[in-house]
A and B are shown apart, each in its own frame.
Chain A
Amino acid sequence: MAAHVIPPRVYLTVFTILLVLTAITVWVAFHDFGPLNVVIALAIAGIKSTLVILFFMHVRYSTRVVKITAASGFIFLVILIAFTLADVFTRGKLVVGK
């Protein structure tokens, strides 16, 4: 396979960043940042998974069709969550016929 071979030091760098981010997310959980706690926790999870996808799963070095396929699943997940929350957060706020 003529695929791009990622050198081990890249994996070790990503590994270190992932461990630091894990430590940060646990530290944040024990401190009160109000509504930001949820945002920080999910943002860190997003960054961590993006690193795994780009480097461990080689998507950064993959062809366009693989990149689009990898992104499509996550895009539809965002649609599922965004549209459902748009419904839930606006329930009872619409007054029809007035």
Chain B
Amino acid sequence: MIGSEQVSLAIPTGALLSGSLSLLAHSRLARLNAKELGRQLLVQHGGLRVILVRPSDVPAYVDHGAADLGIVGKDILWETPGSHYELIDLRFGGCRLVLAVPEASPLNGPDTWPPMLRVATKYPRTAASWFEARGQAVEVVRLHGSVELAPQVGLVDGIVDLTATGQTLRANRLRVAAVLGSSTARLIANQASLKTRTAAVQSVVSRLREASGNAS
């Protein structure tokens, strides 16, 4: 082994944070407080270093080797494929990526879609490739927030967005017309870390695997 024995793990802010922290506690790797971590962003706990980063930045930290491991939603991985290993389905943070249209819209299944479908999304890559794979021409408008608003003001026919409970969709009088995929939190690993510090990294991986309820 040519690297240090310390293992670093990137965990995401936002919806997956509390699940990540309880997984860490459950695996007895580290008991961390969200508030404290939010202040420090980087916490050392025995041989484990925990880094708090934005969800969409997790793959970058892992691919560049700044973190050996990362916890990240599958939805982020759809958008930013990289050179990491996707090791474990951690089975929390479940949600679906859906095509949602206004309640009054005539759009439903694929037969009802217009020759050119216009959708707004934070997931342009995933949306474009899903529709293209089904032979549907699509114009993707990339938005960074409040995607739900776009169809109501006539910008697009529908949106492609994540939904866990459907509450936000209902509040904006949108309904699900198609499901593009379902996402949960995943454990990803840097390719070189697995090779150069196998023992240290694998020991963290197997404790997380166990705590997540996956048989090894």
B is a partner of A:
no
A interface with B by C-beta (< 8 Å): none
B interface with A by C-beta (< 8 Å): none
